[in-house]
């Protein structure tokens, strides 16, 4: 099934009732004895999409109604085409032979005496007729589809040059929910009890611990204890800061130093100690 | 805050710069909270599209809506001139390919076996590959029968390329069931009213009209 | 014979359909003898280009002349909006990164060792670097234990990016199980009955009950 233009052209010609092109000469009528010059036959056969297509062609040539096929007649013609194809040693697809067998079977069934029974036995042609009709519809649908305006053949997108731009490096965004789910997941895998114990101070205290640590380390010396409290934060802020300092001291992340009783308290980075 | 005229020109610029159709949502996302003030981005975009549709009336191009959004497109009446620009002609597709595509379009989801049954011949792999590479068909699943054959359907790209918003816009494929209906048990069944042509007429079409 | 308006629209359509700049000669070749009558194709094209240049004044795009011909070009002033069309999709952060961030948020100040202890696997340097570069975590000190490991905490930028005034606004850890039950995919934990209880009370619960 190549897309060779000759075959396409042949298909198109056939639609216009032309049987064959031989040396550029148009034959628009089938010889009565169905003899077709071998060259033309080849062109014709290549234009068929399969046994259904060939059969449909034969029926249409005779101006017959699909619903009223003379199976004997059509089978005869079909087999003669097949024989010719064989004689010409054309590469004959198995489907053509299958169809020949099916036609022969239908023909023989039609020759059998009809049973008188009222059980409405299906007409042996019904299945063939159904397939031919559906194939014919498909052919028409395919033609319709081909006629629709199509991008790049009939339709062209309208574009203008893009302006210059700096490509932004887009950072992933994280939804708070994702963060929660990640934490819950990791904690489920870890020792929950221990985690709870650590968690007890609450987030505001943990946050304040980081703040204080950052300030103390930035000062790289002493920070006055008082300076870490911001009265504008109110009572709650003072408590949070106080708890944070206690926790930092407990975890030995800061040292609290006082030179003398009632003298100012200072916070400083911890001095290396010997761990006992 | 930007005004409606500015919004219209931004949408115009975006559609002209984009490589394909752009959805309203994607257009709406071009505007920042600062641009919008209290307005809805989508409303702003819709109004801009309306204005652009009116503006391109009678021009060499038009605003069209396809499955995946809006795009500017050269008016088809100018195709004869425009196509002279391109040396390479758009490919013509074989009947085998078009029939295969038509079956996938109208009967999706279908397997290769389904296609072979209707066409009466094997479906060549190169046709399926061409259709996939063109971005018109895709595997959409597997049928739960022995061998689990792949089911194929059409893509959004297919709709875009055929200038469609949905498959509904295609001409109808006469229903396969109508034959069964007229030849089965209830032989007198009427054709469904939405069929464009009664079956009998179709069958009696003279050969020349094919 | 086509009129000047028709010619203008054909040139417009051709420039919009072309992939790059189009020379006057190529544009002139679009017209047939029949289109032209007695007129010169190049004159027709030049007049069309003049008209198009005037028409696009103040629009989202403009007609520009470059070495190899004419093209329509989106105006540079719309670049900030148009460029958003082409921004790459943001990648997603790995679960390992999110878990690391979550632990830093909830247990700060922490060392990498602390995180590794809870997660049970080594924390990669690239995760810590990504979080630092993103401006979400910072070194806040060192723990005075052998090796003096760095302590990490979250930044103000972290709060800003997550739209928080303070970490207080995050659900307390105790609520997480119920949070996951309603938001997570694979949560099997039942909601705790005391999820709405204020933090202070939760603190007093014996650990074993949770």
A163/C82 CB distance under 8 A: yes
Q: How far apart are CA C173 and CA C196, in angstroms?
A: 12
Which range scores top for mean pLDDT: A141-145, A217-221, B154-158?
A: B154-158
Average pLDDT over every residue of A217-236: 78
**Cis? peptide before A54, omega within 30° of 0:** no
C-alpha to C-alpha distance for A145 and C71, rounded to whole angstroms: 34
Q: Distance (Å, rounded) from C-alpha C31 to C-alpha A131?
A: 49
What is the C-alpha to C-alpha distance for residues A187 and C97, in angstroms, rounded to an integer?
15
Percent of chain B with pLDDT over 70: 82
Could you tell me which residue, B167 or A34, shows the higher pLDDT? B167
According to DSSP, the residues that pair with C61 across neighbouring strands are C74
pLDDT score, position A35? 53
With 0-12 CB in 10 A as exposed, 13-18 as middle and 19+ as buried, what is B97?
buried
Q: Is the pLDDT of residue A73 over 80?
A: yes
Question: Across chain A, what does the average pLDDT equal?
Answer: 73
How much of chain A is helix, strand and coil, in % rounded to 5?
Answer: 55, 5, 35
Chain C residue numbers touching A210 (CB-CB < 8 A): 108-109, 140, 151, 153-154
Among the partner-chain residues A11, A15, A138, the one whose CB lies closest to the CB of B118 is A138
Q: Compute how many other C-beta atoms are within 10 angstroms of the C-beta atom of residue C67.
A: 6
Residues 6+ apart with CB under 8 A from A175: none
- Residue C171 is predicted with a pLDDT of 75
Nearest to B179 by CA among C84, C91, A159, A134: A134
Report pLDDT digits (tens) over C58-87.
999 999 998 889 999 999 999 989 988 887
pTM (predicted TM-score): 0.61
Q: Tell whether the model's pLDDT for residue C104 goes beyond 50.
A: yes
Nearest CA in chain A to C185: A181
**Residue A69 in tokens:** 């096929």
User: Which tokens is B138 given?
Assistant: 């895709």
Q: How far apart are CA A110 and CA A72, in angstroms?
A: 9
- A273 pLDDT more than 70: no
Residue C97 clears pLDDT 60, i.e. is over it: yes
Task: Name the strand (E) or helix (H) holding A110.
Answer: helix A94-111
pLDDT greater than 50 at residue B12: yes
- Say yes or no: C78 contacts chain B, CB-CB below 8 A: yes
Q: Is the ipTM of this complex over 0.85?
A: no
Q: Do A157 and B124 touch (CB under 8 A)?
A: no
Q: Judge: A203–C167 Cβ closer than 8 Å, yes or no.
A: yes
DSSP state of A226: G
pLDDT tens, position by position, A98-144: 888 888 888 888 877 766 555 556 777 888 888 888 998 999 899 88
What is the DSSP annotation of B164-207?
-SSGGGSPP---THHHHHHHSSSTTPPPPTT-SS-HHHHHT--G
CA distance C22 to C138: 55
Average pLDDT over residues B107-126: 92
Residue-wise pLDDT tens digits, A80-97: 888 877 776 666 778 888
Neighbours of B181 (CB within 10 A): 18
Task: Chain A: give the shortest CA distance to residue B79, in Å.
Answer: 6
Check CB contact under 8 Å for B16 and C84: no
Q: Quick check: B11 and C61 CB within 8 A?
A: no
Report the percent of chain A where pLDDT is more than 90. Answer: 2
- Please judge whether A163 and B173 are an interchain contact, meaning their C-beta atoms are less than 8 angstroms apart: no
* pLDDT for res B207: 32
- Which pLDDT belongs to residue A78? 87
The two tokens of residue B47 are 């109004």
Which chains pack against B, by 3+ Cβ pairs within 8 A? A, C
Rounded CA gap, B51 and B39, in Å? 17
Assign residue A156 a region (left: φ > 0; alpha: ψ between -120 and 50; beta: otherwise): beta
User: Residue A120: what pLDDT?
Assistant: 58
User: From the list A203, A209, A275, which residue is nearest C109 (CB)?
Assistant: A209
**A chain contacts of residue B124, beta-carbon cutoff 8 Å:** 1
Scored b (16 or more CB within 10 A) or e, C43-57 reads: ebbeebbebbeeebe
- The answer to whether C72 faces chain B, any CB pair under 8 Å, is yes
Token pair recorded at residue A180: 């929660």
**pLDDT score recorded for residue B132:** 95
Beta-strand pair C61-66/C150-154: unpaired
For residues B185 and A233, which has the higher predicted lDDT (pLDDT)? A233
For CA atoms C98, C99, C100, C106, the dihedral sign is positive
Residue A216 reports pLDDT greater than 50: yes
With 60 as the cut, is the pLDDT of residue C193 above it? no
Q: Is the pLDDT of residue A197 over 70?
A: no
Query: What is the structure's pLDDT at B159?
Result: 94
Percent of chain C, pLDDT > 70? 80
């Amino acid at each position: 099934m190549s897309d060779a233009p000759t075959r396409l052209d042949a298909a198109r010609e056939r639609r216009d009732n032309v049987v064959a092109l031989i040396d550029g000469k148009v034959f628009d009528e089938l010889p009565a004895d169905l003899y077709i010059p071998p060259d033309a036959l080849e062109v014709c056969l290549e234009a068929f999409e399969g046994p259904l297509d060939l059969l449909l062609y034969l029926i249409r040539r005779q101006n017959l109604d699909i619903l009223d096929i003379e199976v004997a007649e059509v089978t005869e013609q079909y087999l003669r085409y097949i024989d010719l194809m064989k004689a010409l040693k054309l590469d004959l697809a198995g489907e053509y032979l299958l169809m020949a067998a099916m036609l022969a079977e239908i023909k023989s069934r039609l020759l059998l005496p009809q049973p008188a029974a009222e059980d409405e036995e299906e007409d042996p042609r019904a299945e063939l007729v159904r397939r031919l009709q559906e194939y014919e519809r498909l052919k028409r649908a395919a033609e319709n589809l081909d006629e629709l305006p199509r991008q790049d053949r009939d339709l062209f997108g309208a574009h203008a040059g893009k302006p210059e731009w700096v490509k932004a490096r887009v950072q992933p965004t994280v939804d708070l929910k994702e963060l929660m789910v990640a934490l819950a997941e990791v904690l489920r895998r870890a020792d929950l009890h221990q985690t709870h114990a650590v968690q007890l101070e609450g987030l505001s205290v943990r946050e304040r611990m980081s703040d204080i640590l950052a300030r103390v380390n930035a000062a790289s010396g002493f920070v006055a204890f008082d300076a870490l409290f911001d009265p504008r934060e109110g009572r709650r802020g003072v408590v949070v800061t106080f708890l944070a300092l206690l926790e930092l001291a407990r975890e030995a992340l800061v040292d609290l130093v006082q030179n003398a009783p009632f003298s100012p308290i200072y916070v400083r980075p911890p001095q290396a100690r010997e761990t006992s | 805050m930007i005004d409606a005229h500015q919004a219209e020109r931004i949408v115009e610029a975006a559609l002209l710069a984009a490589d394909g159709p752009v959805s309203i949502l994607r257009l709406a996302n071009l505007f920042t909270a600062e641009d919008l003030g209290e307005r809805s981005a989508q409303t702003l975009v819709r109004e801009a599209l309306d204005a652009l549709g009116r503006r391109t009336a009678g021009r060499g191009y038009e605003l069209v809506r396809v499955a995946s959004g809006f795009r500017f497109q050269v008016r088809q009446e100018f195709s004869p001139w425009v196509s002279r620009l391109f040396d390479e002609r758009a490919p013509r597709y074989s009947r085998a390919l078009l029939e295969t595509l038509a079956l996938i379009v109208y009967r999706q989801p279908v397997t290769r076996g389904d296609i072979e049954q209707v066409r009466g011949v094997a479906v060549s792999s190169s046709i399926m590959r061409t259709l996939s590479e063109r971005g018109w068909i895709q595997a959409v699943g597997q049928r739960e029968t022995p061998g689990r054959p792949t089911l194929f359907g059409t893509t959004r790209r297919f709709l875009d390329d055929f200038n469609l918003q949905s498959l509904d816009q295609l001409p109808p494929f006469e229903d396969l069931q109508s034959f069964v209906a007229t030849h089965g048990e209830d032989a007198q069944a009427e054709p469904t009213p939405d069929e464009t042509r009664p079956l009998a007429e179709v069958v009696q079409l003279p050969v020349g009209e094919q």
